[in-house]
Copies of this chain bind each other. A is one copy, B any other.
Amino acid sequence: MSSIWNRTIKLSIFGESHGVGIGAVLDNLPPGEPIDMNHVLQFMARRAPNSKKSGSTPRTEADQPEILSGMLDGHTTGVPLCAVIRNTNTRSVDYGNITTLARPGHADFTGDIRYQGANDIRGGGHFSGRLTAPLVFAGAICQQILERRGIYCAAHILSIHGVKDQAFDTVSPDLEQMLTIRTKDFPVIDEKAGNSMRVEIEKARLNLDSVGGIIECMVTGVPAGIGSPMFDGMENDIASMIFGIPAVRGIEFGTGFGAAELLGSQHNDPFYMDGDTVKTKTNHHGGILGGITSGMPIHFKVAIKPTASISQEQDTVDYKQHKDEKLVIHGRHDSCIVVRAVPVVEAAANIAVLSQLMQHNALEPLEK
């Protein structure tokens, strides 16, 4: 019923695409953590629409978050941190023709029933991908708290429309590579694969169509022992956050669906001692066993569907009049949202991991 993610860290997200503003309340952050707002803005810029980004809408948004509370002299105070982003560039006129035609793949119809016709549908309202901006803001805050303790998270495009990037090394992760990939406009490991993906995106755009893809995410440095069996485990928390991102269709940890084709003798990761540390030789388990971290990198993949807004004529219904109609969506939309979804997935992972660490009293104290 609510847009609150309610774990040890609590995240309340509010706003509609074409309302006054959007934002987040991030509750129960550890106090006294220095926050570098430039890094926050850089993180947020990775999600922002940008003509340089392949597949991105040309809509430009300043998306400057204003911190209303919870920060003092550049440090968290430990009480709720609220940030607001005002909606400035809202050309509602673009959306005039879709008010009662259900856009296929969108929540127009389901939202209308759910909110009894009262919700703000301009630009998708509260369902808009724009609502991932405050989520990324929140993730950027959490990222700094984690990185201070040597915990790093990075994601990249693993595939777009079937074109595959190289995968992360989830056994001996390359931190340099992780940090580099986060600086890229088109975050792939293999630039050649990236170029082929860009071709797919451009092809879709020219055909008034869209493409989806898969995002791979890895978190390194999380100690062993964080999580729980049953409903409060690391997978549950990450998944519950990830399914808060529009267009996500699936999540898998470690080898995931691929595990269904392996033998136990292949899938089981043998343990070994690396000095005093227990490690596994492979990482099919994605760093989580029984809902609890093993100390190996946390590893998961997320399926992103092709952008639902396409410019081709589509069959649909008028959900108020209850009759069949044809729909052509005009206006701005990405032909591929996977690129911009990469930092959103990272943000979600950062929030979930920080929350779990705090839940288990495992966040190392700040040095004074």
**Is the CB of A228 closer than 8 A to any CB of chain B?**
yes
- A271 contact set on B, CB distance < 8 A: 102, 104, 109, 315-317, 319
A280→B346 CA distance, assembly (Å): 33
How many copies of this chain does the complex contain? 4
Are A305 and B1 in touch, CB under 8 angstroms?
Answer: no
A69-84 CB contact bits vs B (8 Å, 1 = yes)? 1101001111111101
**Is the CB of A268 closer than 8 A to any CB of chain B?**
yes
* CB closest chain-B residue, reference A315: B270
**Is the CB of A331 closer than 8 A to any CB of chain B?**
no
**Is the CB of A118 closer than 8 A to any CB of chain B?**
yes
**Is the CB of A214 closer than 8 A to any CB of chain B?**
yes
* CB closest chain-B residue, reference A279: B317
Given A68-B20, A109-B271, A110-B224: A3 touches B310 (CB 8 Å cut-off): no
Instruction: Identify which of B115, B278, B288 contacts A31 (C-beta below 8 A).
Output: B115
Instruction: Identify which of B12, B232, B253, B273 contacts A1 (C-beta below 8 A).
Output: B232
Instruction: Identify which of B20, B207, B246, B270 contacts A316 (C-beta below 8 A).
Output: B270
Shortest beta-carbon distance from A43 to chain B in Å: 20
**Is the CB of A127 closer than 8 A to any CB of chain B?**
yes
Stretch touching chain B among A44-52, A142-150, A167-175, A234-242: A234-242
Shortest beta-carbon distance from A83 to chain B in Å: 10
Q: Which of A116, A228, A359 has the most CB of B within 10 A?
A: A228
A244→B105 CA distance, assembly (Å): 29
- A316 contact set on B, CB distance < 8 A: 270-272
- A269 contact set on B, CB distance < 8 A: 104-105
**Is the CB of A19 closer than 8 A to any CB of chain B?**
yes
- A249 contact set on B, CB distance < 8 A: 252-257, 259, 286
**Is the CB of A95 closer than 8 A to any CB of chain B?**
no
- A4 contact set on B, CB distance < 8 A: 4, 6, 10, 12, 27, 231-232
A273→B320 CA distance, assembly (Å): 12
Are A1 and B28 in touch, CB under 8 angstroms?
Answer: yes
Are A114 and B252 in touch, CB under 8 angstroms?
Answer: no
- A16 contact set on B, CB distance < 8 A: 69-70, 72, 77, 79
**Is the CB of A354 closer than 8 A to any CB of chain B?**
no
- A69 contact set on B, CB distance < 8 A: 14-16, 19-22, 126
Given A161-B261, A240-B240, A273-B322: A28 touches B2 (CB 8 Å cut-off): yes
- A309 contact set on B, CB distance < 8 A: 264
Shortest beta-carbon distance from A67 to chain B in Å: 7
**Is the CB of A293 closer than 8 A to any CB of chain B?**
yes
Are B322 and A278 in touch, CB under 8 angstroms?
Answer: yes
Q: Which of A76, A84, A263, A308 has the most CB of B within 10 A?
A: A263
* CB closest chain-B residue, reference A5: B231
A233→B2 CA distance, assembly (Å): 9
